[in-house]
Amino acid sequence: MISRTRLLLPAALLLLLLQSEGVAQARLDGVVRSAEDSSAVAGATVLLQSRNLQKPQKLGTLTGKNGNFSIKNLDGGNYLVSVSMIGFRPFSGTISLAVNEARRIEIYLQPSPFQTQQVVVTASKRRQLLTDVPFSVSLVSSASIERRNIISLDDALRYVPGVNVVQDQVNIRGSSGYARGIGSRVLLLVDGIPMLTGDTGEAVWESIPMSDVERVEVLKEAGSALYGSNALGGVIDVITKNNVDVNSTAVKMYGGFYEQPRYSQWRWSGSTRFFQGASVTHSQPLGLGDFGVTASLSFKKDDGYIQNDYFRRFNFFAKTAGSVGQNQNLKVFADVFDQHSGNFLYWEDLNNALQPDPGTLGQWVNSTRANIAGIYTHVLSSDFLYIVRGSYYFNHWYDNFGQTPTGIGDSSTSNLGYLEFQGTWNYDPATVFTFGIDGQADFMSSNVFTRRQSNSGAAYLQAERRFDRLHTTLGARYDIEDIQGKAAFEQLSPKLGLVYDLGGEASLRGSIGTGFRAPSLAETYATTQTGGVEIIANPNLLPEKSLSEEIGARVPIWPFAMIDAAVFQNDFWNMIEPEFTPAGQIEFQNVTRARIQGYEIDASTNAGTDFLTLRASYTYIYPLDLTTHEILKYRSRKLLYISADFQKYIYTASVDFRYISAFENYDRQLVELGIVKNGNNRVPAYVTDIRAGVDLTSIGYPIQLSFIVNNALEDYYVEMIGNMAPIRNYSLVLSTNF
């Protein structure tokens, strides 16, 4: 059992250091608008920093849907006001406030598709400039998601530098291969709350409500020093929108079809395969202070370009947020996801590449996920705030594989509860402490994994200190994991990061940190049949650990471009991978030792214009199993991503190109045993997506219309053996706001 005293003591000692402040009276209200058309800028970050060195204050907030913001309880004096928003040039200015004064200001941001002073929260569990982060972080904006008509979060990640998606498993810089939907080395968060299932430990990307995504932050280094297990390969944090306080309704509809394959022997269906979807999102005030509510309902249907690879999906999402007291805010959100989908593992053979093995035809999976979460924030003074996060995650699925007399094959139900306390203390203008405790309890009942329970708890502390141009970060986290039927284990995960400001927004960075991941219940206890292979349990499975190192630089080529480059190395011990036993079964085992080395270059520019953005990134990795001296499975060594976005007047257009080298190693036994026929056929991927559209909002009509061609050059490739990636398809998207 986890000792409560051991977990609570670090936070209790730190809380004794808090100092109470007198009540300040000044207040600053304002609105942020676009200088182009005076439209409100929602979700902009507003930071206010006092010029008073004797009694410094530093507060921040986000603008609402109508661009408004309010910062209360200020001392009189001079303040530096900074405003930043993706797609706009940052604003900075000074303002003087008298004691008891209430002032309202208007701030106009100049549009710019290229911007360096972005604000992130995932790296240190608090708001900070991207240029202060000591390791690589990439952002995906809501505008990018809308432009590409992303319907599942993993599809948005396919365009992120250094990220490769193998079917539905995300691989950051080679940290993950493909583990058949079980376990994840990448931690998925929503507003800082973990969102991995309690049984398989996987991320259910399609359950994330895309209409409520403000941005996605991708941390490309071991994040266990703050986030614990599952973060050894990186962290993906979905930041949801804060805007629930204005009456508005958004409607989106899309429809499209898959083109018939080029080769006649692949044409398994004589009819066109369609996909379509619709969503409605409504926000309005509740009439209870500044509380508002947002609710959305969406339906998506896909006939599938591959036989038996269809889905029908419903998502419901609701959120309320507002003030519950002076400098106290509460956000509560809930979502329900229900899906019925066909099952496709491997093709019949290369001549029937879009058809499954006849023995698996007709297999299906039903899944239901529900989550409710709350985030309470209390700003006690200009120097200290604390956040309490909590969630409950229900997960249930069943299939008809290997049917029993009831018609049901495998099934699983898990109930996972999570609770965290986090404090942020500005000790002085140059020093910030972040600390907290969290705990998680998971209860699972399954005919695949049996009835099991796991518990975990942790305490973490991070200190940041600025010495003139040098920004230092030092932190550690202590975890205890207890899985029923296994011995409990403890893990200390330290990290160190340095950023040196070269001036002119250029910087050098370096970091070193450890990561770990406890095996999921499914990896430890799964016993089932899938794809013609028996999976067996391994109760002796050990946690895997990693050591991540990175040296990087951000160099602006002012005022038109930014280059970010990094060299990295990740070492792994007891790496968990599915392996064949001598008896031909699959068992999750600890690969003794592995190392992934590589480099990454990410460049972006607006070419000196306000209507064109260009971006290119190249990632190279060398993923070596140091035990067998083979390349790790399902890792592509080279990733090249290029994109161009155009927006002028009412017209928009964009092009994305992705080159993904063919993976060198795979589960060869699946081919040798005849389970996956022609499974050794694999080629590099050359994928081009094209979009064009019109946005009539600026001329008084709240309508956006776009036409999209994905895989426009009709490239045929696989992300894993025996499973063809999406073929060329066309879609039309219509959206409106009123």
| 146 confidence band (pLDDT: 50, 70, 90) | confident
Per-residue model confidence (pLDDT) at position 5: 42
Same domain, 511 and 576: yes
Q: Are residues 365 and 220 in the same domain?
A: yes
How many independent structural domains does the chain possess?
Answer: 2
Neighbours of 23 (CB within 10 A): 8
What pLDDT, on a 0 to 100 scale, did the predictor assign at position 243? 65
Q: Are residues 22 and 123 in the same domain?
A: no
Q: Has residue 96 been placed in a domain?
A: yes
Most confident of 104-108, 564-568, 602-606: 564-568
Other Cβ atoms less than 10 A from the Cβ of 715: the count is 17
Asked which of 56-65, 183-192, 208-217, 301-310 is least confident by mean pLDDT, the reply is 56-65
What are the tokens at 635?
């890792």
Give residue 51's pLDDT.
Answer: 62
Q: Are 578 and 180 in contact (CB under 8 A)?
A: yes
Query: Is residue 718 pLDDT above 90, yes or no?
Result: yes
Please say if the pLDDT value at position 30 is more than 80: yes
State the amino acid at position 210 in one-letter form. Answer: M
pLDDT band of residue 689 (cuts 50, 70, 90) is: very high
CA-CA distance, 388 to 136, in Å (whole number)? 27
Domain co-membership, 96 together with 205: no
Q: Which of 74, 109, 144 is the last residue of a domain?
A: 109
Same domain assignment for residues 565 and 478: yes
In a domain? residue 156: yes
Residue ending a domain, among 75, 109, 143, is 109
- Collapse the DSSP code of 207 into the 3-class scheme (helix H, G, I; strand E, B; otherwise coil) and give the result: helix
Residues 142 and 215: beta-carbon distance below 8 Å:
yes
pTM above 0.95? no
Amino acid 463: pLDDT: 96
- Cα dist. 84→9, 66, 357, 380, 607 in Å? 38, 16, 53, 25, 21
- 55-105 pLDDT, tens digit per residue, is 556 677 878 767 888 888 788 888 888 887 766 777 878 888 888 888 899
CA 59-62-66 angle, 5° bins? 140
Residues 485 and 465 in one domain: yes
Quick one: pLDDT at residue 6?
43
What's the confidence (pLDDT) of residue 185? 86
Torsion of CA 127, 130, 134, 140, to 10 degrees: 100
322 with 408, same domain? yes
114 within a domain of the structure (yes/no)? no
Range of 14's domain?
A: 4-109
Q: What's the whole-number mean pLDDT along residues 161-181?
A: 85
Taking residues 480-502, report their average pLDDT. Answer: 89
Winning range, highest mean pLDDT, from 73-82, 358-367, 526-535, 618-627? 618-627
Average confidence (pLDDT) over 479-503: 89
**Which of 61, 76, 109 is the last residue before a domain boundary?**
109
pLDDT at 14: 39
Percent of the residues in the chain that have a pLDDT greater than 90, as a whole number: 46
Q: Please name the helix (run of DSSP H) or strand (run of DSSP E) that holds residue 153, with its range, or none.
A: helix 153-157
Q: Are residues 84 and 158 in the same domain?
A: no
Return the pLDDT at 2: 42
Q: In whole numbers, what is the pLDDT of the chain averaged over residues?
A: 86
pLDDT at 533 over 90: no
Tokens of 257: 């079809």
Q: Is the pLDDT of residue 610 over 80?
A: no
376-398: per-residue pLDDT in tens? 999 898 789 999 999 999 999 99
| More confident position, 658 or 10 | 658
Instruction: Judge contact between 530 and 401, C-beta under 8 A.
Output: yes
Q: How many CB atoms lie within 10 A of CB 560?
A: 14
Residue range 587-600: average pLDDT?
90
CATH number for the domain spanning 490: value is 2.40.170.20
Given the structure tokens 């036409």, which residue do they identify?
707
Q: Which residue has the higher pLDDT, 246 or 677?
A: 677
Q: Rounded distance, CA 298 to CA 281, Å?
A: 9
Nearest C-alpha neighbor of 95 from the set 86, 84, 106: 106
Q: Which has the higher per-residue pLDDT, 610 or 433?
A: 433
590 in the same domain as 501: yes
CA angle 397, 276, 153 (to 5 degrees): 55
Q: Residue 440: inside a domain, yes or no?
A: yes
At residue 454, the 3 state secondary structure works out as strand
Q: Quote the CA–CA distance of 167 and 724 in Å, as a whole number.
A: 10
Collapse the DSSP code of 146 into the 3-class scheme (helix H, G, I; strand E, B; otherwise coil) and give the result: helix
Report residue 718 as tokens.
């696989």
Q: What is the pLDDT of residues 575-586, one digit of tens each?
A: 888 888 888 788
Residues 521 and 400 in one domain: yes
Q: Average pLDDT of 290-318?
A: 93
Asked whether residue 105 falls in the same domain as residue 124, the answer is: no
pLDDT grade for 36, boundaries at 50, 70 and 90 = low
**Cα separation values, 638 from 160, 510, 619, 708, 710, Å:** 14, 23, 6, 26, 21
Distance CA 667, CA 679 (A): 9
**CATH classification of the domain holding 94:** 2.60.40.10
Q: Is residue 66 part of a domain?
A: yes
Residue 475, Cβ density class (10 Å: 0-12 exposed, 13-18 middle, ≥19 buried): buried
Strand-pair partners of 370 = 336, 394
Give dist(CA 600, CA 616) in Å, integer. 11
Inside any domain, residue 496: yes
Position 13 confidence tier, pLDDT thresholds 50, 70, 90: very low
Q: What is the mean pLDDT of residues 681-704?
A: 91
Measure the CA–CA gap between 187 and 195, rounded to whole angstroms. Answer: 8
197 and 339 in a common domain:
yes
Q: Give the integer Cα–Cα distance in Å for 583 and 601.
A: 44
Report the chain's C-alpha Rg in angstroms: 25
